Every structure is written in structure tokens, then in C-alpha cells.
Chains A and B, each alone.
Chain A
Amino acid sequence: MKWLLWREYRLNRLILIAGGAFFVLPYAIVGFTVLTGSYQMTYVTRAWLASTYAAQLLIALLAGNAIAGERADRSAEFIAYLPLSRRRIVASKVLFALLVFTPVWCVTRVVIDNAYLPAPGYVSGSPAHVLSDLRPFLANVVLLYGAGWLFTSRLSSATAASVLGLVVVILLHVGYVFVLIPQKNFFEEFIRLLNDQERFGDAVFWYTMICISLAVISFSIGTWNYVGHRRS
């Protein structure tokens, strides 16, 4: 497993570097503003929001590249002739994604708990608090990986697989919000939702459930494609 993980790292190194850079960049900018004395509280919000988007992009890219990437450069054949079961290979890729995501999660959590939540002006039940709920972020990440996995198992382009995964999540996210909030007076309704902690909590809960279900289904289909299918 160690060697499989190492190989995953080498195969995805560019993605990790780029994704990692984009994840760290917002915090670096905030750090810069602290040094130059122009720091403002709102910067932290924007920073961790931006970072979470970078992280989601990173996960989408990893998922899209997982199987399609190998198919593209024939390195899949190298593995195919070795006595490695495809299940083991799937496990190594998922484990790799988890290992990559763990520091992302920890950093985000630490920033929110230490820089965001304790900030003055923060009040429980306020839109700011509601916004710091990381469940949508997690749900998106899980769905990005699951959907991306489905596409990567069928397509030969890693980019296409990643993009399709992103499209699925964006469509779901946007669609969900539009279903939730009536069109008339959209922004007023949106603010009202953010202030209604219970209603917001429910909305997030169901969103998370939908994402996870879809992710599990996509991942299963994708795995079945890869493990059960003996094409070439």
C-alpha cells in the first residue's frame, strides 16, 4: 500500500502543487496584510471561503485524474499486469484522497475556530455563524469525489472527468438554492434564511444528505465499472 500511495503522489504531484498553492494563497495574502498592518476581519472570511473553493477544485482534479489519467498515458497497463487487485488500487486512491484532504480540513477548521468565530461582532445565530457551517463544504467535497470518480472510470480524459464532476456539484448547489428560495425578492429571502438558524440548519442537513447519497451511488457505479469491467 505504501508504494501504491507513493505512486499516487507522484502521478498527482502537479495537481497537488497547484491545488496546494491555491489553497494556501488566500491565507498568505491575509498574513501579508497582517504584516503591513492593513488587516481587516473580513479578509479572514474571504480567505477561508476562497481556500475552500480551492480545496474543492483540488479534490475534483484528483478524482478526475484517478483512473482516466492512467488510461491516457498507458501507465494503467503497468498496473494491470501486476498481481494487484483492482479493489486494492481503488482503496489506495481513496486513501490518498483522504490523506490529502485531512490537512486541508484541519487548517480550515483551525482558522475558523481561532480566527473567525472568536472575532468581535460574531454572535451565535447570526449569518456569520451560519456561514461557518462547514457541512456544505464537506458535502460538496464528497460529491465532487464521488461524481468525479464515476466520470473518471468511464472517460479517457482526466480534465473532462474533473470538469463534469464540478458541473454536477455546481448544478446541484445552484439548483438547490433556487428551489429553496422563492424567486421573488430573492436576496431578501436569502438574508431571512441566513437569520433563521433552524430553517438554515434543515436546509444544510438535507443538502448534505442528497450530496452524500449521490456520491455513494456515483462512487459505487464508478468502482463497479473499474473493478468488474475487463475491457482492455
Chain B
Amino acid sequence: MSLLPQSNGTGPAIELDGVFKLFGNSPAVDGLSLSVEHGSTFGLIGPNGAGKSTTIKMLMGLLAPTSGSVRVLGHDAGTEATQIRQKVGYVPELHLMDRWMRVKEVVGFCRSAFSTWNDDTCREMLDRYELPDDKKVKQLSKGMLVKLSLVLAISHEPEMLILDEPMSGLDPLAREEFLDGVLQTVCDKGQTVLLSTHSLGDIQRMADTVGFLYGGRLLAHSNIDDLLASTKRVRATLTNGSPPENLPTGVVWQQVEGREWLLTVADFTPETVQKIGDLQGVENVDVIDIGLEDLFKDFVKGQRSNS
């Protein structure tokens, strides 16, 4: 009883290939390549300024990459942006609607822009979220605004949802309601989802695959379960208090405190323990499992100490 991904034979749902985006001389996106399969939920995570918003703007065709190719649902984001926007349900971080419009006017306006609008879905969702037709956007609370954005995104039956940090600043109940709304439509329709967020809890709940963006580059991109299984923290004792020179590959981050040496290793295999134990001045190698949050923190710390 599995959900069938909507593969239409034209390649991955999202495909970025060697994408660079420079603002002046600084790269917001620095050689990004990634692909997202139909029907999967991709979590894009990274600190502020990592390039998440820029990437999403390129996916929606609002920004042109400086170089590289961006393809969404088989369309090139440069030349076929309008087709992409027809098929993608986009939920922004801050609502974009004109503040003076009433809910029914926003709905009417958006309805006229999309060729595949479903009035029943829209009505049903507006009722479910108790969004009043006559209230102006500026009178709605944050939680209601994000729900309205979701209604607008889903009512035109998109093949893909792109959620750009939509839950920032929401109270826990509103977040849950929003995510449940997304889950419901994914359960029913099986859309591909790209979720850009700060929250690792949301990523774990919602995403199959996760991509970690830092400094415009993808540091990690894999299935969450694989990532958890293949990234471990290793604890060892250093006999002379200083770590060895040549570290095995895959060391993301390390820390020395007294004689205790902690390192986080990606692509972990049983041989890794062996290799570390074989290094000069290293004893008592111990392996610890870590959760997603610690994993990402270590990635960031590792990047910061390298740069």
C-alpha cells in the first residue's frame, strides 16, 4: 500500500546542475548540484545566509543563475518559469498577498491566474481553517496567514510544493496545523515537496532526504536514515594530548579537551574504527551514535573551523 511517485519519465522533479549565483562578487550559491525525485520530500536545511532563499528563487524562475542549469518538473527555470509556477504550490516565509485585499479577493485573484484551480478543495480548506471571506489580509493573524498561503498553494492541484520557511514565528499549535495540512495533501496526492526550514524536528518528521546547505554549497545530501547510520561520533584517548596529523577521510569535525578526543565522522564504516585506532597516539576508541541536531551542529562547526 505504498504511495506511487508521480514519475512522468522526464527525469527528477528538481534538478540543479553546477549552479552558481553571484551578487556582485560574493557567491550566494557556489556550485550547487542536487536532484530531488518525484514523490519524495526533500528537506533543505542550513543557517541564515546559506543560500536557501536564493536557491528557491531560482527554482521558481525569479532569479537567473549566473551559471549552471535549473530544471523543475522537466521545465527549464529560465525559459519556462510560468509553466513551473502553474505546477508548483509555493508557500513563502512572510505572506506576499496585498494587505488591503480581502480573503475572497485574494482567492479570486489567484484563481484567475491558475488554469487548474479546484473550487471544492479551496472552499473545503477555507472552511476547515475557518478563514473568513470578508476579512482583509492585514487583519489576519500570522497563523491564519500561513494557512491561507497553504490554501492558495494547494487549491490549484500542484505537482510540487515548495515551502520556504513558512513556519518561522508561528506558535507550536499553528505549526502543527500547518504541517498536518501539508501531510494530508501529500498523503492524498503524493506531491514532491521541498521544505526549507531551520527546524530539524520538522525535517525528521516530514522529509525523506535532507540537504544541508552552507555557504552556498551542499555539505550533505542523503536519505535521513542513511545519514544517521553513516555519521557517528568517535571518542578516543590521546596518549600525548595532541591529535594525529593525518586524519582518515570523512572527518567532519574534531575537538580536543585534555586527553579526550572527539570527532564526528561521515561515511562511517567498521573499518573507520580500525583506522582511527591504528593512528599514532590514539587509544580506547569508542563509537557513539548521534542525533540529527548534533550531526548538523558538528557539520557547521567543522565548516567554520576550516574557513
Residues of A within 8 A of B (CB): 2-4, 6-7, 10-11, 74-75, 77-78, 80-85, 230-232
Contacts and interface: CB of A to CB of B under 8 A. Distances in A.
B112 A2 contact: yes
Contacts of A77: 92, 96
A232 B97 CA distance: 17
Given A6-B109, A7-B98, A232-B63, 19 more contacts: A2-B112, A3-B108, A3-B112, A3-B113, A4-B112, A10-B101, A75-B98, A78-B97, A81-B60, A81-B85, A82-B85, A82-B110, A82-B113, A83-B82, A83-B85, A83-B86, A84-B113, A232-B57, A232-B62
B114 A74 contact: no
A6 B111 CA distance: 14
A84 B62 contact: no
5 contacts: A3-B108, A3-B112, A7-B98, A81-B92, A83-B86
B61 interface: yes
A142 to B, nearest CB: 29
Interface in B72-111: 82-83, 85-86, 90, 92, 96-98, 100-101, 108-110
Contacts, number: 49
Contacts of B114: 82-83
B161 interface: no
B151 to A, nearest CB: 15
Nearest to B92: A81
Nearest to A232: B63
A3 B57 CA distance: 25
Nearest to B84: A83
B90 A78 contact: no
B64 interface: yes
A230 B82 contact: no
A29 B62 CA distance: 50
Contacts of B63: 230-232
A4 B113 CA distance: 9
B129 to A, nearest CB: 20
The 9 closest A-B pairs by CB, nearest first: A83-B85, A78-B96, A83-B86, A3-B112, A82-B113, A230-B64, A3-B109, A77-B96, A83-B82
What range describes how many residues of B lie at the interface?
20 to 34
A77 B53 CA distance: 13
A10 B109 CA distance: 13
Contacts of A80: 62
A172 to B, nearest CB: 36
A6 to B, nearest CB: 8
- Scoring B64, B82, B86, B92 by chain A CB atoms within 10 A of each residue's CB, the highest score goes to B82
Contacts of A3: 108-109, 112-113
B100 A10 contact: yes
A11 B82 CA distance: 24
Given A7-B109, A230-B63, A81 B82 contact: no
B82 to A, nearest CB: 5
Contacts of B108: 3
Contacts of A82: 85, 110, 113-114
Given A3-B108, A232-B62, A83 B98 contact: no
Nearest to B114: A83
Nearest to B152: A82
Contact of A81 (B62, B64, B112): B62
Nearest to A2: B112
A85 B86 CA distance: 11
Nearest to A75: B98
A96 to B, nearest CB: 15
A211 to B, nearest CB: 34
A11 B101 CA distance: 10
A35 B64 CA distance: 63
